[in-house]
Structure 1
Amino acid sequence: MEKIKIVFLGNSHISLAALEPLMKDQRFKIIAVFTTIDQKIGRNHSKLLPSPVALFAKKNHLNLIKTANINKDIDKLKDLDFDLLVTLSFGQILAPEVLKLAKLINLNIHASLLPKGRGANPIQQAILEGEKETGFSLMEMIEEMDAGDYFYQAKIKIADDDTYLKLEEKIANLIKLKITDLLIKYVDQKLTRTKQEQNKVSYWGKISPSLQIIDFNKSTIEIYNKIRALNPKPKAKFIFKNIEIFVLEAKYKLLKKEQIKEKIGTFLKIEKEGIFFQTIDGIIIFTKIIIPGKKAQYVSEIVNGKSIFKN
């Protein structure tokens, strides 16, 4: 059997859940890997940070092409002979001209159960929305974002204590397990094409800085979900005594209306269990925080020392 030639597009750590097994499987040949340009970091932006995909491709001697805009670099794609264009967490919308280049099809691995969860950050948004399950969809890329037919979906449960990082790892493991056989089945015409139901479409947008702010007027569960969804980045936060504090972990207690005695947003107490705040329908307890100038700490580690939470 002739090897299936793939051009892979991806940027983040989860992209490796597809790239690595495809590289190792002798039925495929990775013709090229496209990823974003190195990010400027550090003081005065003096250092360059390659994407996880760039680091992996370089380590494994793959044909690596960095691009800030693949549509402007289309000539680099036109020079390649490939059967499938496969993307996972690439973050760029492909122009119609790019979508015409693969011999067989352009496939995207999207980390939600389409048509629910089109758009950016689907893993974080699933937690924010309080979803009980998620997964990934293997879909055809068309001009409209995340609107193509899908060929396969895999589902997993979202646990009550799943953070963004934990859930991403679960989905990555699922992709890693399935992707090679799925692409073989597609080439062998053994996958069924399913159209997305338009009346069930939902869009999940980017995580904006304003979304990081904890609003104590929201339900306790919404606050708890926000903390999980934004851990480890960009992190939920609140202001206390004019100091910005990031929250990494929490737990909660729901209360009946008659049990709520304090004003919403009131700081109640700090003890070994955590930092207690009144919400609209209960108590949110911050158990792991970051105070400016310090590393992440469990509240149990700081409760006996000096603290802005003590008078």
Structure 2
Amino acid sequence: MAHSYILVSKKQRHDVLYQRLASSLQGQWHLITDKTQLSLEKLTAINPKYIFIPHWSDKIADEITERFACIMFHMTDLPYGRGGSPLQNLIVRGHEDTQLSAFRCNEQLDAGPIYGKLLLSLAGTATEIFNRADLLVGQLIFDIIQHDIEPIPQVGQVTTFTRRLAEQSNITNLDKLSDVYDYIRMLDADGYPNAFLNSGEFILTFTDAVHDEEQVSAQVIFKRNAKQKNETGILQ
């Protein structure tokens, strides 16, 4: 009897990953994109061997993680870098590459046993890095299913990252061109607050950065600063 598998993600880019997995690996595949679908009742009806979660921002109920093998993917060499905004936290710390870790979800944040890790370059924009990571996610899923891998406990010193806030995308106080470039590229992806400057009347946001020895060039968008408006909507 063929096993059932579930891919869980709100990101549209993972539709391609789902199609690739469903066409290349035997079994009944299901895609969940909404948290209302991630219920114990629905999962029990499917009875998956594995639930793969390449991206999910909502807490998964303990009753689900205790009953099913929920496998998440984190862009650090766990236990280093548990927590939020791993890509950005790695780049601001000067990392040029990382490990993409596949681990079983449990009651502690990013603390479950490891199924496998693959080397991931942090070059390029956030979008480019995520696209490379998706290919590695597919490879890890293939290995886990084909080789029936048993996860092993995390080993090493725990380091925890804090989720970065939108205001930390402000590049006003940066004094190195390399830092300006890193901030722009690490936030250059759908769903992320782009690097910005506040000129008072305008907010300038930056994407598509290119860095050479003497300058950083980028695409810039000017928007009216909503905080400069009074109650009538007129800029002060």
Q: Same fold (TM over 0.5)?
A: yes
Note the alpha carbon deviations across 1:234-288, whole angstroms, 9 max, x for none: 21001236321112125365xxxxxxxxxxxxxxxxxxxxxxxxxxxxx763432
Q: State the SS of the aligned residue for 1:174.
A: helix
**Does residue 175 of structure 1 match 2:133?**
no
CA contact (8 A) 2:126 2:186 kept: yes
Q: Which residue of 1 aligns with 2:151?
A: 193
Note the alpha carbon deviations across 1:172-205, whole angstroms, 9 max, x for none: 122234422332212xxxx363322351x23333
Q: Which residue of 1 aligns with 2:159?
A: 202
Q: State the SS of the aligned residue for 1:137.
A: strand
Q: CA deviation at 1:133?
A: 0.7
Distance 2:16 2:77 in 1: 18
Q: Which residue of 2 aligns with 1:33?
A: 31
Distance 2:18 2:84 in 1: 20
Q: Which residue of 2 aligns with 1:11?
A: 10
Return the letter of the residue paired with 2:197.
F
5+ residue gaps, structure 1, are 37-65, 254-282, 294-311
CA contact (8 A) 1:135 1:155 kept: yes
1:100 alignment partner, one of 52, 56, 66: 66
Q: Which residue of 2 aligns with 1:67?
A: 36
Q: State the SS of the aligned residue for 1:154.
A: strand
1:89 alignment partner, one of 55, 63, 68: 55
Q: CA deviation at 1:91?
A: 1.6
Q: Which residue of 2 aligns with 1:236?
A: 195
Return the letter of the residue paired with 2:199.
F
Q: CA deviation at 1:84?
A: 1.6
2:105 alignment partner, one of 106, 122, 141: 141
Q: CA deviation at 1:115?
A: 1.8
Distance 2:159 2:179 in 1: 19
Q: How many residues end up aligned between the 2 structures? A: 221
Distance 2:200 2:70 in 1: 52
Q: State the SS of the aligned residue for 2:115.
A: strand
The percent of aligned pairs where both chains have the same amino acid is 18
Change (3 A) 1:250 1:240: farther
Change (3 A) 1:123 1:15: farther
- Report which structure shows greater RCO (CA 8 Å, sep ≥6): 2
Q: Which has the larger radius of gyration?
A: 1
Return the letter of the residue paired with 1:67.
T
Change (3 A) 1:79 1:228: same
Distance 2:33 2:46 in 1: 16
Q: State the SS of the aligned residue for 2:159.
A: coil
CA contact (8 A) 2:116 2:140 kept: no
Q: Which residue of 2 aligns with 1:152?
A: 116
Q: Under a length normalisation based on structure 1, what TM-score does the superposition of the two structures give?
A: 0.62
Change (3 A) 1:135 1:172: farther
Q: CA deviation at 1:291?
A: 1.9
Q: Under a length normalisation based on structure 2, what TM-score does the superposition of the two structures give?
A: 0.80
5+ residue gaps, structure 2, are 225-236
1:112 alignment partner, one of 70, 76, 87: 76
